[in-house]
Amino acid sequence: MTSLFDSHQLGSLKLPNRVAMAPMTRARATTDGMPTASMATYYAQRATAGLLVSEGVQPSLQGQSNPYTPGLHSPEQAAAWRPVTDAVHTNGGRIFAQLMHGGRVAHPEVAGYVPVAPSAVRLDAELFTGPKGLLPAPVPRALSTAEAAAEARVFGEAARHAVDGGFDGVELHGANGYLIQQFLSTNVNRRTDAYGGPAAHRVRFAVEAAEAAVDAIGADRVGIRLSPGGTVWGMAEDDAPELYAALLDGLAALDLAYIHVLVGDDEDAMVALRKAWPNTFIANPGGQIGPRPTTHADAEHWLGLGADLVSFGRAYIANPDLVERLRTGAPLSEDDKTTWYQGGDTGYLDYPHHVPSAEPLPEAGAGAGAGAA
């Protein structure tokens, strides 16, 4: 049986183990989307993972969802990622950038753009916008057919910047209600052109975005994250089995390196996706920030069901040495939710490595007649 500590070949990369760090937004970049020295330290601390996936990175200002997140839409940003990727490589790790386009999950207060979406369907929620706090999501502008094609190509441009910035590859964010899943959905995609309607049309945007990234940097450096049937940020997929069968067909034809699946409640449906996918399958058992973080037992379960890698999110926030803790059975520290997005180094760089406790000292006076006077 495969162990978490066996190596795995991912495209041209040999991963020393099957533990992946799940992408996690930490909102520690500058206001103009530049990565910082603290981010280099954060990722380098976690470099023993088989694969690190970065926080969501906007491929364009139009695609920026949250404040204080980093970008990959200019040569300057690509260059600013170098110290991060170099620090990871120096520590022996590998890192993919997660390209996250928010679509309608965005607000003009953050980057100055009216959000775009497949259709002008408003998200019924408030979004954190920075200094002005929570504001209602606005009605997004529906992309024209030509604009949808152009928006998919943005993922190719960002993939090129990612490799220029030293990343080993990119993961397209096709999960959790952002632009790619908005096109996949049956409720936010109300289009009647080639990007809407039947499942075979609704997968077009995802496949074109993946194709743009493949054309830019090669299929062995491109993966995609998916949340089949997921409902985060108001998503509905009324035909998920048919939809994901069509999507995997389209992505397999591109020979994409991996799919990274947020595991939902329907285990059989997930196993069917595993069987349908020819390349690397990464499972994230914690799914959509479930009630408890992914555990070692979840990971073993999913390796047993055929996953090649298992990703851990929250456990990686609090345990930079997660691989070693899993290997030795050392206890895991708990993350502090209040510091997830608060900025600064507290709750970011200060989670310590596990220190095995020293052998207990023999009790004074132990041993026959010891010290007896």
Nearest CA to 155 among 98, 228, 199?
98
Residue 326 binds to ligand FMN (criterion: CB under 6 A) = no
Which of the stretches 139-147, 160-168, 301-309, 313-321 binds ligand FMN when contact is defined by CB under 6 A? 313-321
Angle between helices 75-90 and 37-45 (to 10 degrees): 40
Sign of CA dihedral 107, 162, 252, 21: negative
Residue 298 in 3-state DSSP? helix
Residue 57 binds to ligand FMN (criterion: CB under 6 A) = no
Tokens for 239, please give them.
């035909």
* Residue of 73, 225, 296, 325 that binds ligand FMN (CB under 6 A): 225
Nearest CA to 286 among 34, 20, 81?
20
Is 341 part of the annotated catalytic residue set? no
Q: What string of H, E and C letters represents the secondary structure of 257-275?
A: CEEEEECCCCHHHHHHHHH
Residue 24 binds to ligand FMN (criterion: CB under 6 A) = yes
Q: From the centroid of its chain, how far is CA 270? A: 18
Which of the stretches 70-78, 84-92, 191-199, 280-288 binds ligand FMN when contact is defined by CB under 6 A? 280-288
State the Cα–Cα distance between residues 152 and 116, nearest whole angstrom.
12
Which of the stretches 12-20, 115-123, 290-298, 343-351 binds ligand FMN when contact is defined by CB under 6 A? 290-298
Residue 83 binds to ligand FMN (criterion: CB under 6 A) = no
Cβ atoms within 10 Å, residue 277: 19
* Residue of 312, 319, 321, 323 that binds ligand FMN (CB under 6 A): 312
The residue assigned the tokens 């926030």 is 317
Residue 286 binds to ligand FMN (criterion: CB under 6 A) = yes
- Which pairing describes strands 169-174 and 222-226: parallel, antiparallel, or unpaired? parallel
Of the candidates 42, 43, 68, 178, the residue annotated as catalytic is: 178
Residue 284 binds to ligand FMN (criterion: CB under 6 A) = yes
Q: From the centroid of its chain, how far is CA 290? A: 15
> Would you say 156 or 286 has its CB closer to ligand FMN?
286
> Would you say 22 or 158 has its CB closer to ligand FMN?
22
Residue 325 binds to ligand FMN (criterion: CB under 6 A) = no
Using CB under 6 A as the criterion, which residues of the chain lie in contact with ligand FMN when the complex forms? 22-25, 55-56, 98, 100, 173, 175-176, 225, 262, 284, 286-287, 289-290, 293-294, 312-315, 340
The residues carrying an active-site annotation are 178
